[in-house]
Amino acid sequence: MKERLWTKSFIMLMVGNLFVFLSFQMLIPTLPPYIKSIGASGLEIGLVTGLFSIGAVISRPFIGFLLEYKPRKSLVIIGALMLFLVTILYPISQIVVIFLLFRFAHGLAWGWSTTVNGTAAVDAIPNSRLGEGMGYFGLSMTIAYIVAPSLGIFIYNLTTFANLIFISAILGAISIILLTAVRYQTPQAVINTRKEDLKFSYIGSSIEKSSWFPAFITIIINLGYGSVVTFIVIFGEERGIEQIFLFYIFNAILATLGRPFAGRWFDEKGPIGLVLFCTFSTFVGMWVLSFAHSNLLIAISGALFGLGFGCLIPTLQSWALLMTPSHRRGVANGMIFSSIDLGLGLSGIIFGVAAQFVSTASIFRIASLFLLAAIIMVLIMERKKRSGLREDVVAKKKVRTSV
């Protein structure tokens, strides 16, 4: 008989995580236009994404270390509380510098919360159903990606920023209530471990050498995509496109529909062709977006992004884990998430500076060059790999012939 997956604790943890993501994701597309409204420059708008991502990257290795010896419940609740507190502080930040400090703190809290929630989910799932359980747990994030950005843009356009924060805070408070009620399962090995028994290495907890290439491509890809995260709402305002949230709706729908097919492609044919296809789809979506003057082109662009970028990140993550020894997969997983945050953060800073000199549409076109660079790098890597395999085959034949 199958071990039980759908326990009360697992369900509440999954729903609690859903509300964490809903509360957070509805702010993603709305903070850049808000900080612009209080007088931020292009660079400062870019720092909204940049400082957040830097905070998330910095916090993950530390929380990974804490998870080796700390009970799960306290860490999960602390993460949810930190996210809630930072959220309710945003409306009082009428000074750009203070707002950016809050954004950095938000990044620290996000890196903490996402890491501990995912680990708590793994602990709650029977080993025999780990893949199935994590797939269902991932739905809490996918649903939030579909609903929250569009909801945030709709509320931001309909009412005030303070009301948007109020709704986000309510969702955050619900997540705290749900996560507090979960009965957590801390592994016995963690309970038996003392802090004194461990030695912390920031680099060792951040980087897995065997899977560096997928992580590097993840950074490059997100350098391009980060320009969209930072500037799409501002772009909609410049072009007079009222239904900019259609981008997020079609993005999420196509990503959800495409992932099962992408997963089968990966299992049957490997990552290379899939990565190239997804990156090219995202590249085309970036150019369609840059020329958009209508809701139709916004929807088409979102669909291309969903088919491309929405399937690309899970593919890169699976590729990295495939290359990594089993005992180091936790580090590789964290490295991929940090690569995402690092790429988004650097993108915000780079294109925040660029925004002072070129149009938003031009930013999207320039950013697409990072996607093109990723395609070229993957092709070069694959060519070198095949060349190396041919050389190995030739060398083995020579050895057999000489014998």
Sign of CA dihedral 71, 72, 76, 77: negative
Task: Judge if 53 and 18 occupy the same domain.
Answer: yes
Task: Judge if 246 and 109 occupy the same domain.
Answer: no
The residue with tokens 């009301």 is 163
Q: Is residue 36 part of a domain?
A: yes
The answer to whether 146 touches 252, Cβ cutoff 8 Å, is yes
User: What one-character-per-residue DSSP string does 242-291 give?
Assistant: TTTTHHHHHHHHHHHHHHHHHHHHHHHH-HHHHHHHHHHHHHHHHHHHHT
The range of the structural domain enclosing residue 35 comes to: 1-184
CATH code of 55's domain: 1.20.1250.20
Q: What is the mean pLDDT of the chain?
A: 85
Q: Is residue 197 part of a domain?
A: no
Strand locations in 305-385, DSSP E? Answer: none
pLDDT in tens, 126-150: 776 665 666 677 677 777 876 788 7
Under DSSP, the state recorded for 127 is G
Q: Is the pTM of this model over 0.85?
A: no
Q: Is residue 286 part of a domain?
A: yes
Tally of residues, the chain: 403
Q: Which helix (H) or strand (E) holds 181?
A: none
Comparing 249 with 368, the larger pLDDT belongs to 368
Nearest residue to 223 (alpha-carbon basis) of 38, 347, 67: 347
Task: Judge if 164 and 246 occupy the same domain.
Answer: no
Which residues neighbour 257 within 8 Å (Cβ) at sequence distance 6 or greater?
A: none
- Choose the final residue of a domain: 184, 215, 250: 184
- Choose the final residue of a domain: 133, 152, 184: 184
Under DSSP, the state recorded for 203 is T
Which residues neighbour 380 within 8 Å (Cβ) at sequence distance 6 or greater?
A: none
Q: Is residue 258 part of a domain?
A: yes
Under DSSP, the state recorded for 31 is H
The residue with tokens 């030739």 is 394
d(CA 294, CA 282): 19
The answer to whether 124 touches 9, Cβ cutoff 8 Å, is yes
257: its two tokens: 């529909």
Q: Is residue 339 part of a domain?
A: yes
Q: Is residue 313 part of a domain?
A: yes
Task: Judge if 26 and 124 occupy the same domain.
Answer: yes
Q: Is residue 199 part of a domain?
A: no
pLDDT of residue 302: 92
Q: Is residue 64 part of a domain?
A: yes
pLDDT in tens, 50-85: 788 888 888 888 887 887 788 889 999 999 999 999
- The tally of domains found in the chain comes to 2
130: its two tokens: 């780990």
Q: Check pLDDT > 80 for residue 189.
A: no
